[in-house]
Amino acid sequence: MDQNEAKIRIEKLKVKIKDLNYKYFVLDQSEVSESVRDSLKRELIDLETQFPEFITPDSPTQRVGSVLSSRFKEQTHTTPKMSLADVFSAEEIRDWSERIKKLVSTPMEFVCELKIDGLNITIQYEKGLFVRALTRGDGKTGEDVTHTIKTIESIPLKLNEEIDLEVSGEVYLPKKSFEELNLSQAANDLPPFANPRNAAAGSVRQLDPQVSASRKLDMFCYHIDRNTLHENIKTQEDVLKSLQHQGLRICASYKKFPNIDEVIKFCDLWHKKRESLPFEIDGIVIKVNDLEQQKVMGFTAKAPRFAVAYKFPAAQVSSKILDIILQIGRTGAVTPVAVMTPTLVAGSTVSRATLHNEDEIRKKDIRIGDTVIIQKAGDVIPEVVEVIKDLRTGNEKEFIFPENCPVCGSPIERREDESAYYCTNKNCFAREKEGIIHFVSKKAFNIDGLGEKLVNQFLEAGLIRDAADIFLLKPEDVMGLELFQEKRTNNLFTSVENSKTIALERFLFALGIRYLGEQSSYDFAKFIVAHLQDKMNFNIHDLLEIVKTFTIDEIENIDGIGEKIGVTLHEWFNDEKNQAYLEKLSTVGIILTTTTLDSTGALAGKSFVLTGTLVDFTRDQAKDLIKQKGGKIHSSISKDTDYLVAGEAAGSKLKKAQELGINIIDESEFKKLLG
C-alpha cells in the first residue's frame, strides 16, 4: 500500500470507527459486533504505525473511552481513567510478559480476572458514604449517573469503614435479567436489546431511576482509584480483598499465578466454560500483582504497561477481499471463494471465505476490494456476513461469472431452480480430485495422513486415477516421492489398511453422491440393513447387488430420503460407470459393518440440530453420539426438529428455533439426554 492509498484508507477507517463508537457508547446501539470494531481499530493502529504522518488528534486511537452523551451532568474524574491494551492470542500475551519483565529486577506474579462485558463505572465514597457515580466518559470527564447506580442493591451506600474511597468496576446485566427484560420489551411491542452490554448501558443512562431499578443491574468492583488507606495495600490481590472487606462486590473467580504459562491456561479454561457463567464475559484481564512493580512499569500515553485485556477469539472480524476465485466441487458445483487479507477469527487465521453462489454475491453486493465482516459458519467454514460499504473508495470491482470452467475449460451452466453453476464435464479433473479428497476425509474413510496435498501429489505423479487406486498402492510406489521416508510411508499404509473396515453409512457418504449427506447416508444404510438378513459384515459387491433390486419408489419412501435424493441414488447405483467403480472397490478388501446402525436407542426417532461450540464434545463427536442412540441429525431448523443443542456463540439457528417453539437445550441437558 502506497502513501496515498494509506491516507485514504486511514480517513475512511477513522470516520467509520467514530460512527460505530457513537452508536455503541452514546446511543447504546450495535451496528456490528464488538470484535468487528476491534479488528477495524487494529487495522487503523497498524496503518498509523506504518504511516505516522497521518495520525491526527481526532483519531479513535488517540483517546480513551467514549463520547459523552450530553444528557447528564458532566463531572471531572479525580483520577484519569485509562483503557487497557488488548491482546488476542497466547503469543501476544507472552510478548507482553517479555516486554514488561525487562522493566523490573524481581520475579513477577500475575492476577487474572474475568473481563466482565458491561459498562465501566467509577464510584466515589466520602467518609464511607456513597456520594457519586460517574461513567468513564472520555477518561477525564464522565457522566453523573448517581441516581441510577444507587439503585443497584449490591452496591453499599455505606462502607464498613469511614474512609474516602474511589473505586472502578463494571456494571452489567445478568443473563437471566436480560432474558426477562427482552420478554418485557416484546410484551410492550418494543424492540429487543441486542446483548446484555447494550441493555446495561441503556439502563444506567435512564433518566428515571425506577426504570433502572426494575432491570436488576449488578456490579463487580476491581480497582481502587483513590484510597486514604492505600499504604496497607501492596498487591492487586490486596486490592480485591480490601474492596470485599469494605462491602463491595468483586468477581470471586480471580486467581493468582506465578508464571505466564499458567495465565494462558486460565485464559483457555474460561474461553471454554464462559457459557456456564450467569453473566457475559469477553475475555480475561491480566495484571502484574505487585503494585510497586506496577509503578515502575508505568503507563504509555494511552494505557498502563502492567496490565492487558486478553480478548477471546472473535466470532466476527473485518477483512479485505483481494480477489474472488472459483472452486470446482466433487459434484461439479462451481463455488466462488473470496481471497482475503489473512485475519484471525475464532482462534485461527483465515485467508479465504466462501461466497456460496452468484445470488449471494449479488444480494450482499460483494465486490473485489471491499472491506467485509466475516465469521465462521458452524465454527469451521469462514463466510462473508456483510460488506462495510462506508469504506468503499470507488475502485472496487464487481465479479462476473465466466462462461467456462476455470480448470477444464468446459462450459458451465446454471440449472433450473438452482442457485449454483455446474461444470458440464463429468470427467473434469477438479471434480475427480475433490471426489477423492472427500473419500479419504475424516467423516468418510478417515485415512490419517492422506489429505488434499498428498492426493494432489499422487494424482500429479500418476499413481492414482480414482479413490480405489489408493488401496492398490504399494510402499515402493511412494518412497520416491518428495518428503517420503520410511516412517511416513509405514504410517500411511497402516492407516490405509485400518480404514478398510468401515461403517456402512460412512462408506455411502464417502461415495460423494449428490445430495447424500451424513444423516441421509445413515437413513439409507438402515434401510439397506433391513435387507441383509442379519449380516454384521459384508462386502461392496453384496451392497451393489442389494441396492440394484430397490425400485425408485422404494428409495424415495425411505424415512429421511425423499424424492430428490431418491432419484439421485437410483440413477447413481444404476449407472454402469459407477457400478464398475464399486466392483473395483470390492476387490481391494473393504469390509462394510453395520454395528453403528442402532435404531432402538434412547434417542430413537428424535431429530437434532447443533449450533454453536460445545465444550466437552467436538461437533462430529456429538453427531456420532446422537446417531449411536438412534437419533437423527439435521443441518437446519424446521417445525419437525425435536431439539436444538445450543452451544457457545449460537447463531441464527437459535433465533429460528425460538420463533418455531423448538425445544432448546444446552450442553448439560444434552448430556442428560445421552445418559
CATH of the domain at 259: 3.30.470.30
Judged against a pLDDT cut of 80, whether residue 206 lies above it is answered with yes
Collect contacts of 538-543 with beta carbons under 8 A, ≥24 apart. Answer: 538/591, 538/592, 539/586, 539/590, 539/591, 539/592, 540/507, 540/582, 540/583, 540/585, 540/586, 540/590, 540/592, 541/582, 541/583, 541/586, 543/504, 543/507, 543/582, 543/592
Do 277 and 239 reside in the same domain of the chain? yes
pLDDT at 254: 95
> Residues 183, 184, 187, 192: what is their CA dihedral angle, to the nearest 10 degrees?
-70
Domain annotation covers residue 458: yes
Of 311, 329, 354, at which residue does a domain stop?
Answer: 311
Distance CA 200, CA 215 (A): 9
pLDDT tens across 550-596, in order? Answer: 999 999 998 889 888 999 999 999 999 999 999 999 999 899 988 77
pLDDT tens across 153-186, in order? Answer: 888 888 888 889 999 999 999 999 999 998 988 8
Do 176 and 292 reside in the same domain of the chain? yes
Do 31 and 9 reside in the same domain of the chain? yes
Do 143 and 223 reside in the same domain of the chain? yes
What percent of the chain is modeled with pLDDT above 90? Answer: 47
What percent of the chain is modeled with pLDDT above 70? Answer: 95
pLDDT at 139: 84
Amino acid in position 552: I
52: alpha, beta or left? (left if phi > 0; alpha if psi -120 to 50)? alpha
- Residue-averaged pLDDT of the chain: 88
Annotated catalytic residue: which of 16, 81, 115, 632?
115
- What total of structural domains would you count in the chain? 6
Its pTM stands at 0.64
Do 519 and 664 reside in the same domain of the chain? no
Q: What is the CATH number of the domain that holds 398?
A: 2.40.50.140
Give the pLDDT band of residue 526 (cuts 50, 70, 90).
confident
Which residue range forms the structural domain that includes residue 253? 74-311
Residue 397 neighbours by CB distance under 10 Å: 12
CB 335 within 8 A of CB 420: yes
Give the pLDDT band of residue 350 (cuts 50, 70, 90).
confident
DSSP per position, 648-662: BT--HHHHHHHHHT-
pLDDT at 507: 95
Domain annotation covers residue 15: yes
Region 650-668 average pLDDT: 84
pLDDT at 572: 93
Judged against a pLDDT cut of 50, whether residue 195 lies above it is answered with yes
Residue 643: CB partners within 8 Å, gap ≥ 6?
606, 607, 608, 609, 662, 663, 664, 665, 670, 673
Do 254 and 135 reside in the same domain of the chain? yes
Give the pLDDT band of residue 232 (cuts 50, 70, 90).
confident
Count the alpha carbons within 13 Å of 218 in the hemisphere toward its beta carbon.
16
Query: Which of 665, 612, 663, 657 is CA-nearest to residue 636?
Result: 657
pLDDT at 28: 62
Do 210 and 279 reside in the same domain of the chain? yes
Judged against a pLDDT cut of 90, whether residue 377 lies above it is answered with no
pLDDT tens across 613-636, in order? Answer: 777 888 888 888 888 788 888 878
pLDDT tens across 300-313, in order? Answer: 877 899 999 999 88
Distance CA 172, CA 467 (A): 56
Do 579 and 486 reside in the same domain of the chain? no
* The residue to which cell 468503499 is assigned: 392
Of 423, 450, 483, at which residue does a domain stop?
Answer: 423
Annotation marks residue 176 as catalytic:
no
Domain annotation covers residue 483: yes
Distance CA 400, CA 397 (A): 9
Do 557 and 525 reside in the same domain of the chain? yes
Give the pLDDT band of residue 599 (cuts 50, 70, 90).
low
Judged against a pLDDT cut of 80, whether residue 211 lies above it is answered with yes
pLDDT at 68: 47
pLDDT at 620: 80
Domain annotation covers residue 68: no
Q: What are phi and psi of 56, to 5 degrees?
A: -125, 155
Of 289, 311, 333, at which residue does a domain stop?
Answer: 311
What is the radius of gyration, based on Cα positions, of the chain?
30
Quick one: angle between helices 667-674 and 619-628, nearest 10? 30
Do 173 and 284 reside in the same domain of the chain? yes
Q: Which of the residue ranges 355-364, 395-404, 440-449, 616-625 would you say has the lowest mean pLDDT?
A: 616-625
Domain annotation covers residue 223: yes
Do 403 and 266 reside in the same domain of the chain? no
pLDDT at 112: 97
Q: What is the CATH number of the domain that holds 482?
A: 1.10.150.20
